[in-house]
Amino acid sequence: MSITASMVKELREITGAGMMECKKALVETNGNIEVAIENMRKSGAAKAAKKSGRVAADGIIKVAASADNKTAVLVEINCETDFVAKDENFLSFAETVTQAALDNKATDVEAVMATEVDGKTLEQSRTDLVAKIGENVQVRRVQLVSSSEGQVGYYSHGKNIGVVVSATGADDELIKDLAMHIAAANPEYVDADQVPAAQLEKEKEILIAQAQDSGKPAEIIEKMVGGRIRKYLAEITLKGQPFVKDPDVTVEKLLSSKNADVVEFVRFEVGEGIEKKVDNFVEEVMAQARGN
């Protein structure tokens, strides 16, 4: 029986296990989802599957680049606690995943996890690691950055932030400075041309509404909004921001003085966008006292 992507997706949703583990279980049971679930519960995968429902919002950002500085990769590997994020087994797994992603120029998580290292897929290694350390571990995202005309560089801020920059006309020092700036200032886009028209229009509508409350004439409001839009673009674009090492100079002016340019950048921060439950023990005790 042919194992379809929808069958794998269904089994993943039911068990919480990884893609490769689910596919393997379905192949072994000739597509019988019920039997696959039962087998996974009996095997070591059941322990991993049970933990996979827990929030993994801690972890590490790993960055690696090729020897010729033409390709770099960013990977986020998550776990549940900072304690495990420092564990040697977890760090070794993260290193292996990152190197595999770079070596195979992987562009997504599924491709990386299907890679075989030392006779087993990285997905199987992940499952084994979960069973060993007792925490949910997930490879959340992978981003490959390549440069045909210039070069790439990167910066890691501890284990929490990683940045890759692709630039032309820049030396190693400048690229590292740019990556450090991006890590600190967190711009959304390289320049104003990259800002989606819909986002800009929405911001303009908000600013117009705010300015109209001032009761000023239309021509004054237009000038106010124009100035605020320019300020907004300067805040969200790399080139518009003051350079962190010299705030008197914008990144755009810095690049111009070096005859360099930024093609693209990628910035990862551990756990960004993941909702992590925060226990409020005071409220919990009060609720119990009230009999709720």
d(CA 218, CA 204): 14
Question: Could you tell me the pLDDT band of residue 279, with boundaries at 50, 70 and 90?
Answer: very low
5-51: which CATH topology?
Helicase, Ruva Protein; domain 3 (1.10.8)
Yes or no: domain 58-190+258-269 corresponds to CATH 1.20.1250.20: no
The string of pLDDT tens digits covering residues 156-184 is: 999 999 999 999 999 999 999 999 999 99
* pLDDT tens per residue, range 228-268: 999 999 999 999 999 999 999 999 999 999 999 999 999 99
Q: What is the CATH number of domain 192-248?
A: 1.10.286.20
Of the candidates 262, 202, 210, the one whose C-alpha atom is nearest the C-alpha of residue 237 is 262
Tokens of 277: 């439950």
What percent of the chain shows pLDDT beyond 90?
A: 61
User: What's the rounded mean pLDDT across residues 194-212?
Assistant: 87
- What token pair was written down for 38? 């039962």
For residue range 121-148, what is the model confidence (pLDDT) as tens digits? 999 999 999 989 888 899 999 999 999 8
Using alpha carbons, select from 200, 177, 176 the residue that is nearest to residue 189.
Answer: 200
The angle subtended at Cα 56 by Cα 52 and Cα 58, nearest 5°, is 155
Q: Encoding tokens for residue 111?
A: 């491709």
pLDDT in tens, 76-115: 999 988 899 999 999 999 999 999 999 999 999 999 999 9
Domain segments of the chain as ranges? 5-51, 58-190+258-269, 192-248
Separation between Cα atoms, residue 227 and residue 207, nearest integer Å: 10
